[in-house]
Structure 1
Amino acid sequence: MSSNRNNDQACAEYFKSQKIYQRCFRELWKKWRSYGKPAGRITLKHASDEERRAVGGITGKVFYEEDIHFTFAEFEQGLQKTRFAPVDIKKVLEEYFGEELVTKQDQKKEARKQKENFLKDIRDAFREKSEAESVASEWIEQMLSMKKYGYQILIREFEKDPDQAGVLAEYVGNSLEKLCGISNTEECPLAVFAAEISGNPHYFDRETTAGMLLVRGICCIRRREVPENAYQWRELMETEGIIPDNVSSLLHVYGLRLKKGAAWHPAYEAFCEAGEPCVITMENMKGITEVQPLGKKVFIVENEMVFSYLIDNLPDKNCTLLCTSGQLRFVAQKLLSLVLEAELDVYYSGDIDPDGMGIADRLWQKFGDKIHLWRMSPEDYEKSISGEHIEEKGLTKLLHIHHPLLKKTAEYVKQKQLSGYQENILKELLADMAKADERS
């Protein structure tokens, strides 16, 4: 045995002393890592005369081309005919490079084992801490068995820094345990909840790694689907008694009465009587059970400037107008649900570009035909068209439009490749609201 080892060592030392074999041995190393045996075809591009002669001397082949080709097996068989024979090619390679030769398959197996052990250690730690059945350990168990509920997120963090990944899993697991101990009637601001768990009030914000992992943990223990948007995320958190920021989610409103408990809220009564717009946040929506517009129709626009123009120029202020400021935030969707409960006609108008049409389409998909699209037809597009070009990335968004009318408009937009804006049809929007005022 020692004799063979000496052969392997002597063989490796010889080839290390011959620099001309460096590229060849690097390729042999790669092939063994891939196959775990002397297999595979090796190519040395732009080989020098010395390389061709050196490799040819081992393989018994004569190379004339600049790029030379030979198999690992041919090289290994050639070594067995040298003065170093018999040799173990794996041992020769390990002696040559000074490190253990491990195949990619073995590395992957070891990596999988490390990941499993990491998750098992966390699961067992949660089990030891809890006398009753631990929801945190159940979450880890589901990640282990199903590779879901945040598995990819946590493993990605483990590959970066195992210690920090362990802390992350501990904080999220502790959060799940705490949530299961909170009464449904209790409410806790998200920032306060995060600070109590981690010391960082922003730790569980929606876009953070911890925030995304917490959501998946909740979905695991509650058997729910992962939220697809901010509205669903807020809904999920509020179901758990965790209240996200209630101030930044806001909506501009004109001419809408809000009832709190059994009485109409005096603040919004005052705004209606004064004919002034106001801002409503999620904090303001607490306890609101009913809404009542001025007039029989509710109009919604996307743009703040359009909102201001329409209010300032309406001859009769007996109307209701909302402004979403782009994407519908949670407060807008909650308020809109109350408007629709009152069986009111709702008219929505947005920019006729990929993003504006996408917002309108998603609004229709959520609330159905109770939402009437306002000034977003192909004819309206022709009037609202601007000189701003839509890039290819924007045009692809139009492929996902579902509303029948918007699909027709999308075809025109794809042809023109120009954005249409509400600011270009202000007079038409104003006339529509004025007519509605007259009829109400």
Structure 2
Amino acid sequence: MDKVKLLQQCSEYFKSNHGFHRVLVKIKDRYKALGKIGGTIKLNNLTLEEKEALTGFLKKNYYKDSVSIKVDKFQEALKDTPFEKLDLIEVLEEYFGENIVTKKAEIEKYERDKEKFFSEILDELRGTKAYEWLEFVLNGKENAYRIIAQRYNQDRVSLKADLIITSKGLNSLPFFYNKSERLALFASHISKNPHIFDDNSECGKLLLNGIVYLLDEKYPQNAEEKAELLYRVGLIKDEISNFTICSGLLAYKDGRIHGGWEGFYNTYEPLQVSLWNLSKVQRIVSPKKKVFVFENPAVFSEILHKTSREKPALVCTYGQVKLASLVLLDKLVKDGVYIYYSGDFDPEGLAIADKLKSRYDQSLILWRYNKGDYYKALSKKRIDDKRMKKLKGLKNKSLISIGKALEETGCAGYQEMIIDELIDDIKTI
């Protein structure tokens, strides 16, 4: 009898007795794990059919609830049957109707396929910034590696398409050409889909990781940091809703004073400036080389009203500092302007001041930030423990000192209480 028929008969023999099925499944799994016939398998809660099949085949008493069987003993038992010329692996493959591959072989094939997959993509990108990024990710297993690895295992076809689109975006970032562009419009040019690089989209996450690599920055932790990172490469997001308020400042476009800014400067009226407006001017200046920045809009409005004769440069950030405020201040500092920053004496206000001081260093003066000012501004509004914990993140020594005073009193202090002192400073600094 030829081998093919013998294998078929052997397979039918085992299939005809369901008592062998669990044993053969265990032997197959053991072989895949070890890469060879060997080891021991364990069976619990044996059925009567399994007990009879094993006892008869292995010629040993297996009328027990749980048993351990050495795989090579099963192979030896096969030699005492009409199927003695058959290899156990061949029998298993015939029985299960599949080519049984060891775990080691599966891993090796997986790695070969993976290397080929990414090599083909890299070949398409060779000589580009996207090539440098993807090579860095794959070699260092950093940046977007986890995202890419997970998606490779889930759907490598869509992953390849997204990597190509993202790479096209990285290689076409507006800042390479000293330009700026709305994110949605940029996305349309790259993929004909204005939402392809939206927050939390697959391509959006990949693009952001690519930008992080190009700028050698840390991955952004919030929406404002994301917007700033995009702005730095010439991509403008939320260009109208992201704004700041200022007065007493002049802007230059193409070497000339911007007419709109000049009009508000001459009338000393507050100007609402969007991120888009800021992207259209090259310079922003304060004629007196200083700017007074306020967190509180009510304080800003009052000081604007009471300093109309002096016409100082003022900015209002409206609490948490939006990207538009940062871009405005960046441009001012670049022009040699000193920032005088004043905010509320609460955990959130001190955290904002701390971040700004860290960003602008010697170009920013913490204005009216001493214990005396805090006690003058002190209110009866209590600060809960959850908010107090935010003080632990402060880095500036002066702000840490105020933070300790805050913990001692348990109450916040507000700018409105020291508004006269702020006005006097503006008139004399």
TM-score, normalised on structure 1? 0.70
Distance 1:21 1:204 in 2: 55
Shift of 1:158: 4.2
Q: Identify the match of residue 297 of structure 2 among 300, 307, 331.
A: 307
User: Structure 1's 234 and 186: CA in aligned 2 closer, same or farther, altered over 3 A?
Assistant: closer
Corresponding residue for residue 359 of structure 2: 366
Q: Is the 8 A contact 2:122 2:134 kept in 1?
A: yes
SS at match of 1:37: coil
Residue 113 in structure 1 maps to residue 112 in structure 2 = yes
- Equivalent residue letter for 2:206: L
Deviation at 1:237, TM superposition (A): 1.4
Q: Specify the SS of the correspondent of 2:328.
A: helix
Name the SS for the 1:99 alignment partner.
coil
Hey, what's the Cα distance between the residues in 2 that align with 1:347 and 1:44? 74
Q: d(CA) in 1 for partners of 2:15 and 2:302?
A: 86
Aligned partner of 2:422 in structure 1 is 433
Which position in structure 2 is the counterpart of 1:260? 252
2:31 corresponding residue in structure 1:
32
Cα–Cα, structure 1 residues 126 and 433, in superposed 2: closer, same or farther, change >3 Å? closer
Q: Which moved more, 1:133-142 or 1:105-114?
A: 133-142
In the TM superposition, residue 177 of structure 1 has moved relative to its aligned partner by 5.5
The DSSP-based 3-state class of the residue aligned with 2:118 is helix
CA contact 2:369–2:402 (8 Å) conserved in 1: no
- Residues 62 and 179 (structure 1), Cα distance of their counterparts in 2 relative to 1, 3 Å cut: same
Q: CA deviation at 1:199?
A: 0.8
C-alpha deviations, 1:122-145, integer Å up to 9, x for none?
Answer: 445567xxxxx6666666666666
2:306 to 316, 320, 333: 316
Q: Which whole-Å CA distance do the structure 2 matches of 1:361 and 1:300 have between them?
A: 14
> Does 2:229 match 1:233?
yes
Q: Which whole-Å CA distance do the structure 2 matches of 1:430 and 1:270 have between them?
A: 28
Measure how far apart 1:335 and its partner are: 1.7
Does the 8 Å contact 1:12/1:95 carry over to 2? Answer: yes
| Alignment check: 8 A CA contact 2:250 2:265 kept | no
Shift of 1:55: 5.1
The answer as to whether partners of 1:360 and 1:373 remain within 8 angstroms in 2 is no
Paired amino acid for 2:97: G
Q: Distance in 1 between matches of 2:42 and 2:248?
A: 76
1:130-145 to 2 correspondences below 5 Å: none
**Structure 1 unaligned residues grouped into runs of 5+:** 128-132
Is the 8 Å Cα contact of residues 252 and 278 (structure 1) preserved in structure 2? yes
- Whether the 8 Å CA contact 2:137–2:143 is kept in 1: the answer is yes
Task: After TM superposition, give the deviation of residue 52 of structure 1 in Å.
Answer: 5.9
CA distance 1:430–1:344, change in 2 (3 Å)? same
Q: Of 379, 383, 390, which residue of structure 1 is paired with 2:386?
A: 390
Q: Aligned-pair distance for 1:257?
A: 1.7
* Identical-pair percentage: 24
Secondary structure at 1:100's aligned position in 2? coil
Cα distance in 1 for partners of 2:128, 2:160 equals 17
1:278 maps onto 2:271 in alignment: yes
Q: Look up the match of 1:329.
A: 322
Query: CA RMSD for the aligned pairs?
Result: 4.8
Q: Do 2:249 and 2:313's aligned partners in 1 also have CA atoms closer than 8 Å?
A: no
Aligned to 1:171: 165
Q: Distance in 1 between matches of 2:62 and 2:406?
A: 62
Conserved 8 A contact 1:9-1:95: yes
Q: Match of 1:328, SS? A: coil
What does residue 14 of structure 1 align with? 13
Spell out the pairing of 1:238-257 with structure 2 (5 A cutoff): 238=234, 244=237, 246-253=239-246, 255-257=247-249
Query: C-alpha distance in 2, partners of 1:322/1:390?
Result: 30
Contact 1:8–1:88 (CA<8 Å) still a contact in 2? no
Aligned to 1:130: none
**CA separation of 1:345 and 1:173: change in aligned 2, threshold 3 A:** closer
Shift of 1:207: 4.6
Unaligned segments of structure 2, at least 5 residues: 221-225
How do 1:194-213 and structure 2 match up within 5 A? 194-205=187-198, 207-213=200-206
Which letter does structure 2 place at the counterpart of 1:168? D
**For residues 328 and 101 of structure 1, do their structure 2 counterparts lie closer, same or farther at Cα, with a shift above 3 Å needed?**
farther
1:390 alignment partner, SS class? helix
- Residue identity matched to 1:233: L
Does structure 1 retain, via aligned residues, the 8 Å contact 2:343–2:415? no
User: CA, structure 1 residues 176+273, in 2 after alignment: closer, same or farther (shift >3 Å)?
Assistant: closer
Q: Are 2:369 and 2:399, in contact at CA under 8 Å, matched by a contact in 1?
A: no
Q: Structure 2-normalised TM-score?
A: 0.72
- Is contact 1:315–1:434 with CA below 8 Å preserved after alignment? no
Residues in 2 aligned to 1:358 and 1:104: alpha-carbon distance in whole angstroms:
53
CA contact (8 A) 1:350 1:376 kept: no
Q: 1:256 to 1:95 in 2, by over 3 A?
A: farther
Whether the 8 Å CA contact 1:258–1:288 is kept in 2: the answer is no
Distance in 2 (CA, whole Å) between partners of 1:202 and 1:410 is 43
User: What is the total number of aligned residue pairs between the two structures?
Assistant: 415
Contact 1:401 1:407 in 2 (8 A): yes
**What is the deviation of 1:295?**
11
Following superposition, the deviation at residue 226 of structure 1 comes to 5.1
